[in-house]
Every structure is written in C-alpha cells, then in structure tokens.
C-alpha cells in the first residue's frame, strides 16, 4: 500500500461499538479491572495505556513499517526517554547542528545521569567514526537539521553505529515519514515531535518514538514514559491521529512551495545564503535526493546580509509570515532562531528560519521580497 493511502487509513478502522468512521476519544483516566488487576478491557490506567493512544501508535508504526511506536507528551519528552533508558556510563554522539533542547539536555542533564555526549559534524563520516568510543551506546541523528538544514547520510551513520553496537535514533521531525523513513535506511528508532508536521495544525503537543524492532529498547522507553509520567492526553493523541489523514497532501504542497521560495531567495541581493536541501547547490543535496522521496520538506533557513539587525528588520516587516515558534502547520512562520533559543543557541545571528505553510507560494515570495527590501 502506498504511503498516501496508508496515511488516510492507518489506525482508522470504524469504531466497533458504533461503526463511526471518526475514531472515538476515550477520555477515561481509569478502567475497570478484576480483583487481581486483571485487564478486563486491555487497560488499567491512562499513564500506562489508553485506547485512543493505542490507535495512534498503531498508525505511527504502520507509516514506518515498524514493529511498534510510543506516543509522549512532547517531542522533548520522547527524546528524553531515549537517554533516560541508557545505563550510567553511556556515551552518546549528537549532531553539531541539533535542536537546541537536545543540546541543553546533553550538557545539563546527561552528567546528572552519569552519562556524557559529544557533538560532531554528522555530515562528516570520518568525524563520526573518530568520535565513537567503546562506551558509545547512542548515535543521535537529526536530518535535515535545525536550523541549518544539514543532511546526514542515515544509512552510512547507522552502519558505523551498528559496528560498535550502538543504537541509532533519527529525529525525523522536519522530513516526516511522508518524505523519509529512517528505519528503512538502517536506523533503530525514528523520533518525531508530533506537535509539528504530523499534527499539522499548530493545535497539539506530542512526541513519538517508532521502533524498527520490539524488545528491550522499546520496553525501556515505555517504562521511562510510565514511571516519569511523560504521557500525552487522549485528546492530543486523537488530534495527531486526525493530522495524519492529511499529512501526505500537506507535505507535498509545502515541499513544492518551499523549493520555489528557496529558489527565489537565492536570487535576492539581500540574501547571503539559503539553506534548503532541495537546492542543487546545497552540499547535502545528493544525499537528500537519495534518502528522501517526493520532496525536501517545508523548512528552510535564510541568512540576511547586514547581520542581526537586518534579519530582525526583515522578520518584523513580513505580513503573511507570522513571527512564531514551531513548524509544519498550515500557516507560514518565521523565527530568528538565535533570539528564540537564547544562551545555548549556536544559530547564526543573521539567520531566519522559515516554515512554509499552505498559502500560495507567490504570495509568500512577494511578502519576503517586500520585507527584504528593508534589510
């Protein structure tokens, strides 16, 4: 079954009780059980499992051809569960350009858990190989990366990790499974902030881990979720499940528009650089073309000539693009990442991140042109 069809139908079987096509939302926090806690209906308590979450997890696993999936309260909660499931003494590799909260997690919390991490340029396979240690247990990949849109060769990095017995987790938030399936490329786990493209409407928070195989890794992450309580509400699980139904068409449109916007920006005198893997000039274009399908996503970043103040003038002058955090929604957003991330940011001062929505691409190009005239 092709992805577009699967996204519409996965986890969407009619409700057995009513034959309703829209999945029901089970809001109950507790479920009747037997005197010895026998699961009469398959559930005990919402922190462990609930029927709405089950549907979403089945759908996420199906979209990746995976064994199982876990849904969390946020993308950061999902990421944290991976690190929390590692034993003390573990070493991890993270990308040099990585979502800033993963960087802060590595610097501020891994030492408290008896772990360590090294940031490395994941686009450089020799650097990845050199950074691996005997105690490396995890290689964390983010591709395309946030906010520089670096592209990592998932298959090659996963192969290096496998040689050392390390787990490979790929943050697939920017691409979504509509464009890229890390598990098919050798990764062990795909991670998503379901808040973003999977939810798709800027109205839900969540995160997911999708496992190529069932087993110890899956159960360790499930245990961390249950004991530490990073559980999504049933309503949020339902909203993400709803978002999956339109994922393929949204991503297709956003990818097409983003490529047109990126090409227009490369020709503008006020633009110093455009980071978008769909551009033939992008250093990771060939790898992205090989491991992504049907487009390159709706995210790009632009470097504005004139530095921070010029970038802020452009962001403030935009009319259609909204200055807001997040990505993957129906509306187009702009963000000065260094300001948003704060002290831990490694984003360039002149960089604006653009999330392309579902507006007409020429209207977006025109909006950027009038704002860049003020740079």
| pLDDT 10s digits, 207-231 | 999 999 999 999 999 999 999 999 9
Supply the residues annotated as catalytic.
47, 99, 171, 196
Confidence class for position 273, pLDDT limits 50, 70, 90: very high
This prediction's pTM: 0.96
Q: What are the CA-CA distances from residue 181 to residues 54, 64, 275, 318 (Å)?
A: 21, 6, 22, 34
Given the candidates 3.40.50.620, 3.40.30.10, 3.30.1450.10, 3.90.1150.10, the CATH classification of the domain at 247-372 is: 3.90.1150.10
Residue 72 and residue 206 in contact, taking contact as beta carbons nearer than 8 Å = yes
Q: Residue 300 CB: number of other CB atoms within 10 A?
A: 26
Mean pLDDT value of segment 120-135: 98
Mean pLDDT value of segment 64-90: 98
Q: Is the pLDDT of residue 322 over 90?
A: yes
Residues 226-230: contacts with CB under 8 Å, at least 24 apart: 226/47, 226/48, 228/81, 228/84, 229/47, 230/72, 230/73, 230/74, 230/77, 230/78, 230/80, 230/81
For residue 68, report the phi and psi dihedrals to the nearest 5 degrees.
-165, 165
Q: What are the CA-CA distances from residue 16 to residues 3, 125, 241, 349 (Å)?
A: 25, 50, 18, 54
pLDDT (tens digit per residue) in 146-199: 999 999 999 999 999 999 999 999 999 999 999 999 999 999 999 999 999 999
- DSSP, res 331: S
Q: Give the whole-angstrom CA distance, residue 190 versus residue 353.
A: 23
- Decide: helix, strand or coil at residue 256: helix
Report pLDDT for 344.
80
Mean pLDDT value of segment 289-309: 97
Q: Is the pLDDT of residue 243 over 90?
A: yes
Q: Give the whole-angstrom CA distance, residue 45 versus residue 34.
A: 13
> Could you state, in order of their start, the residue ranges of all structural domains in the chain?
3-244, 247-372
In angstroms, how far is the first alpha carbon of the chain from the final one? 48
Given the candidates 3.30.70.1450, 1.10.10.10, 3.40.50.80, 3.40.640.10, the CATH classification of the domain at 3-244 is: 3.40.640.10
Q: Which two tokens stand for residue 32?
A: 């009747």
- Decide: helix, strand or coil at residue 241: helix
């Amino acid at each position: 079954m092709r992805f577009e069809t699967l996204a519409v139908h996965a986890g969407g079987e009619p409700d057995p009780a009513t034959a309703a096509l829209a999945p029901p939302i089970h809001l109950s926090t507790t479920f009747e059980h037997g005197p010895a806690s026998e699961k009469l209906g398959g559930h005990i308590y919402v922190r462990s499992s609930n029927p709405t979450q089950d549907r979403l997890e089945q759908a996420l696993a199906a979209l990746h051809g995976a064994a199982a999936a876990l849904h969390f309260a946020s993308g950061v909660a999902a990421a944290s569960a991976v690190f929390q499931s590692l034993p003390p003494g573990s070493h991890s590799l993270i990308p040099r350009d990585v979502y800033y909260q993963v960087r802060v997690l590595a610097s501020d919390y891994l030492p408290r858990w008896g772990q360590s991490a090294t940031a490395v340029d994941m686009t450089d396979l020799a650097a990845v190989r050199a950074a691996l240690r005997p105690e490396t247990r995890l290689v964390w990949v983010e591709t395309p990366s946030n906010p520089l849109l670096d592209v990592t060769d998932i298959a090659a990095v996963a192969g290096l990790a496998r040689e050392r017995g390390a787990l490979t987790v790929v943050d697939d938030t920017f691409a979504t499974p509509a464009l890229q399936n890390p598990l098919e490329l050798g990764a062990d786990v795909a991670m998503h902030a379901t808040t973003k493209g999977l939810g798709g409407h800027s109205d839900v928070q969540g995160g997911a881990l999708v496992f190529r195989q069932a087993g110890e890794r899956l159960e360790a992450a499930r245990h961390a979720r249950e004991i530490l309580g990073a559980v999504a509400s049933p309503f949020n699980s339902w909203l993400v499940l709803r978002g999956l139904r339109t994922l393929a068409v949204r991503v297709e449109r956003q990818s097409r528009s983003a490529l047109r916007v990126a090409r227009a920006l490369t020709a503008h005198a006020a633009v110093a650089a455009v980071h978008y893997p769909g551009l033939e000039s992008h250093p990771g274009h060939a790898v992205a073309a090989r491991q992504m399908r049907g487009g390159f996503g709706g995210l790009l970043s632009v470097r504005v000539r004139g530095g921070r103040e010029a970038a802020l003038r452009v962001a403030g002058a935009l009319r259609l693009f909204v200055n807001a955090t997040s990505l993957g929604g129906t509306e187009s957003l702009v963000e000065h990442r260094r300001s948003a991330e704060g002290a831990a940011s490694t984003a360039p001062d002149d960089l604006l991140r653009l999330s392309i929505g579902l507006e007409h691409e020429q209207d977006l190009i025109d909006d950027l042109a009038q704002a860049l005239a003020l740079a």
